[in-house]
Amino acid sequence: LATTPDLKSIAESVTGGAVRVETLVPPGTDAEAFEPRPSHLGLVRDAVLVIRVGLGFDDWLDRLIVQSGNTRVQRGAEAQLDLSKEVALLEVQGRSVEQQSGHAHGAANPHYWLDPANAEAMGAVIAEAVVRVAPEKRASIEASHDRFRAELKARLERWTRALEPHRGAPIVAYHNSWPYFARRFRLNIVDVIEPKEGVPPTAARLLSLAATIRSKKVRVIVHEPFEPMEASRSLSQRTGAQVVVLAPSVGGAPGTETYFALFDRNVDLLGKALAGQP
C-alpha cells in the first residue's frame, strides 16, 4: 500500500506485478488535502507493507493506521517504509518535533520524488522490503528491479540531455515544489509566487516578481494543475513569460500515468517552453 500514486508507480515497476499495489491518494488529486473514505480503512487494515512520503506530507496516514488497528504497519514498525529517510533532503528546517518520539525530525521539502535519481534509492528500499514480506517471490522481484534500474538510468540520461541546453535557465514557480527537480536538471528557480499555501501574493510581491522576471529574463512560470491560475496568468500577461503546467505527481495531468511518463511529459513541456516554442 502506497500513500501517493508516485510511490505506487515506482513500487509497481520495481516488483513487476508480483504483488498488488494500491494508492490511498487517488491520481490527480491534491495529496496534502486528502480526505479518507471508508474503503481506505479496509486497504490500510489489509496492508502487509506501507510506503509513505513522510516529512509531514502524508501525516493523515498515522490516524488511519490507528483507526484500522493494523499494528504491523504502524510508525516505526519494519513494515512501514518512510522513503524520506533514504534520500538526501533539501531545505531542512529542523523545527518540527515528532510527537511520538519527541526528537527533532528535521522537516524538509517533501517533493523528493521529483528528482528521478532519488527513485533509484527509493526503488531499492521498496524491492528489499517487498522481498522481506514475500520471500517466495524474490527471483521475479529482483529481475524486475534490475529492469527498473536499467530503464531509469537510460531515461534519466535522455531527460538530462533534453534539458542540458537550458542549464541554469531562470524559472519562476508558483509553489515551492520543484527544488529537487531543479537540482537534478540544473535549473535556477529564482522565486516562487505563493510561498505560503493559501495566502495570495500581495501587490508589492507581484510587482517585485514582475521586476525579477524582467531583470533575470525569466521565460517560464512553472504551474501545477490545481493551483489558482490568476496570479500566474496576470504575471505572464505583464511580462511575456510563458506559463507551463507541469504535473507534480503521477496522474496529475493526462499522459502521466506512470512515474516514467510523468517525467517524459514534464521534461518535454519544459524543454519546449524554455526553447521558446508555444
**Alpha-carbon gap, residue 119 to 54, rounded angstroms:** 15
120/142 with CB nearer other proteins: 120
Candidates 233, 240, 255, 275: give the one binding other proteins (CB under 8 A): 233
Nearest to 191 by CA among 234, 233, 232: 232
Are the C-beta atoms of 2 and 8 separated by less than 8 Å? yes
Q: Which stretch binds other proteins (CB under 8 A): 14-22, 28-36, 65-73, 127-135?
A: 28-36
Q: Is 204 in the site for other proteins (CB under 8 A)?
A: yes
Are the C-beta atoms of 132 and 80 separated by less than 8 Å? no
Q: Which stretch binds other proteins (CB under 8 A): 65-73, 128-136, 151-159, 184-192?
A: 184-192
Q: Is 240 in the site for other proteins (CB under 8 A)?
A: no
* CB 96, min distance to other proteins, A: 10
**Alpha-carbon gap, residue 193 to 214, rounded angstroms:** 15
Beta bridge partners of 192: 173
What does the angle CA 41 – CA 43 – CA 44 come to, to the nearest 5 degrees? Answer: 65
Number of residues that bind other proteins (CB under 8 A): 48
Amino acid identity of residue 84, one-letter, is: S
**DSSP annotation string for 127-139:** HHHHHHH-GGGHH
| CB burial of residue 276 (10 Å; 0-12, 13-18, 19+) | exposed
19/121 with CB nearer other proteins: 121
Q: Which stretch binds other proteins (CB under 8 A): 54-62, 122-130, 140-148, 230-238?
A: 230-238
Q: Which stretch binds other proteins (CB under 8 A): 73-81, 133-141, 153-161, 251-259?
A: 251-259
Applying CB under 8 A, the residues found at the interface with other proteins are: 27-30, 37, 88-95, 104, 106, 108, 167-168, 179, 182-183, 186-189, 199-207, 210-211, 225-226, 228, 230-231, 233-234, 237, 251-254
